[in-house]
Amino acid sequence: MAEILVAGAGPAGCAAAAILARQGFRVTLADPCPPVPPRIESLPAAGQRLAAELGLAPALSDAILGTAERIELAWRPDSEIRSFGHAGPLLLSRPRLHAALRRAAFAAGAELAAERIDRLEPGRAACRSGAVLVAAVILDARGRAAGGLAPLGPPRAALPFRGNARREQPSMGLAALADGWLWWAAAAGELQGLRVAAPGTLAGMDAAGRQGWLRASGHPITETCETGTPVPAGLAAADPLAVPGIIRIGDAALARDPVGAHGLVHALRSAAQGAAAAATWLRHPAERGAAEQFLRLRHRTDCTAARAATAASHAEQGRHRTAFWQEMPATPALPSSPPPGRLRLAAVAAQVPLMAGGHIQWARGMELRTDGTQLARLGPYPAAALLAALAQPGTADEFAARLARLGPSQAAAPAVAELARLGALVPA
């Protein structure tokens, strides 16, 4: 019997399986391994750092088609071309990424079960073949196929397309249309992208209809492209701990609207968090409550951030005022800088969950009075030190000066700005 069953060998499942197998757990990775359709996906610098932290940089490098040098934007009223300099996102081949991450999981010791799982229950998975896989802990990483996701934004469908890139430099493009938007990436002679719309727009279209609809976007990039099969793409989420003993990770917990992007970053980050929770359940059962609270808090933060990212992209779009663009409600703007005048920190000392050393434990921390956010530390500052340093009211500059005496001075102003962004600095 495996200690841990990971259902789904996409980016989230493979990352979690590799992390846990490296820690010595007996891990089974179950996936029917259907062919992965060609697709280019972008990974920003934050995702590259995260992959390196998780020991997955070599797997990533096997999938790199190029580093995007620029993005052509037809989003705001004026078209623009932005150069990324040296910090461009990686453009990854999705089939190569799958293959490389699976190799990393198997090299770490995870075993493959080439099974399609029809039903997950605490401790067991019923497979289409009739087999039953049994494990102490299950990570559900089946992506949107896990089902049970509730919409957090308007429904969206993405029509993938591909063609030959006529450009030499790896690049990307983003264009707002009246009934949706278009994203494409070109690298290593390939051009791939998606046209996103409300699902009703695509309903009832056959392959020829979809091909015609893509061309009708009017964007020159689509002129010689072939379309694929539409896939759901709206922002949606599910409780990561709805079923006892099962932890949802990746798209199975939070599937992002591609306009907010960063699906891969979330897949890797939630894999690390889900793996740490599974390790805690098995090796530190007394801390099970800390693991569960940690996952719930992170999930809430991630959902809020994903909604804000989607809403911000809609708000920035200044070319069309159509129903598609008005469907996503704006989220309240977060303060971008600390408020003026004398402030106080609206937070109290609390026991909070902390992820460290591959598992989760209770630690001394603080809880923000505004929305219950719990922090063990902020940047280099432990929460207890922050609470002590900011116990007396002061201006934002005075707070930064006090923090600068505690640790690296360059981290002080960003920490104060982050507290303001979290709404934790209120008039004294």
Ligand X SMILES: Cc1cc2nc3c(=O)[nH]c(=O)nc-3n(C[C@H](O)[C@H](O)[C@H](O)COP(=O)(O)OP(=O)(O)OC[C@H]3O[C@@H](n4cnc5c(N)ncnc54)[C@H](O)[C@@H]3O)c2cc1C
Query: What is the binding site for ligand X (CB under 6 A)?
Result: 7-13, 30-32, 34, 39, 41-43, 116-117, 141-143, 145, 158, 160, 194, 231, 233, 250-252, 258, 261-264, 267
* Closer residue to ligand X, CB minimum distance, 15 or 425: 15
Q: Which is nearer to ligand X, 56 or 233 (CB)?
A: 233
Spatial distance between the Cα atoms of 223 and 212, rounded to a whole number of angstroms: 10
Which is nearer to ligand X, 116 or 344 (by Cβ)?
A: 116
Backbone angles phi, psi at 30, to 5 degrees: -105, 125
CB of 190 to ligand X, least distance (A): 14
Q: How far is the CB of 91 from ligand X (least distance, A)?
A: 8
- Shortest Cβ 43–ligand X spacing (Å): 6
Q: Which is nearer to ligand X, 1 or 46 (CB)?
A: 46
Least distance in Å: CB of 396 to ligand X? 34
The secondary structure of 303-362 as a DSSP string is: HHHHHHHHHHHHHH--S--SHHHHSSPPPPPPPSSPPSS-EEE-EEEEEEEEEETTEEEE
Report the alpha-carbon distance of residue 94 to residue 41 in Å, rounded: 6
Rounded to a whole number of angstroms, the minimum distance from the CB of residue 3 to ligand X is 19
Nearer to ligand X, 34 or 357 (CB): 34
Q: How far is the CB of 183 from ligand X (least distance, A)?
A: 7
Distance CA 280, CA 57 (A): 25
Nearer to ligand X, 264 or 422 (CB): 264
CB of 235 to ligand X, least distance (A): 11
As a whole number of angstroms, the distance between CA 146 and CA 251 comes to 9
Give the residue with the Cβ less far from ligand X, 41 or 292: 41
Bridge-based pairing state of the strands 254-255 and 236-237 = antiparallel
- The C-alpha atoms of residue 346 and residue 368 are separated, in whole angstroms, by 6
- Residues whose CB falls within 8 Å of the CB of residue 200, separated by 6 or more in sequence, listed in order: none
Instruction: Quote the DSSP letter at residue 242.
Output: S
CB of 273 to ligand X, least distance (A): 13
| Comparison of 66 and 365: residue with beta carbon closer to ligand X | 66
Closest distance of CB 40 from ligand X, Å? 7
Q: Which amino acid is at 200?
A: G
* Alpha-carbon distances, residue 79 vs 24, 175, 186, 192, 319 (angstroms): 52, 9, 19, 21, 10
Place of tokens 């929770």: 277
Q: Report yes or no: 93 and 38 within 8 Å, Cβ to Cβ.
A: yes
Beta-carbon-side half-sphere exposure of residue 63 (alpha carbons within 13 Å): 29
Minimum CB distance to ligand X smaller for 144 or for 369: 144
Query: Within 10 A of 9 (CB to CB), how many other CB atoms are there?
Result: 25
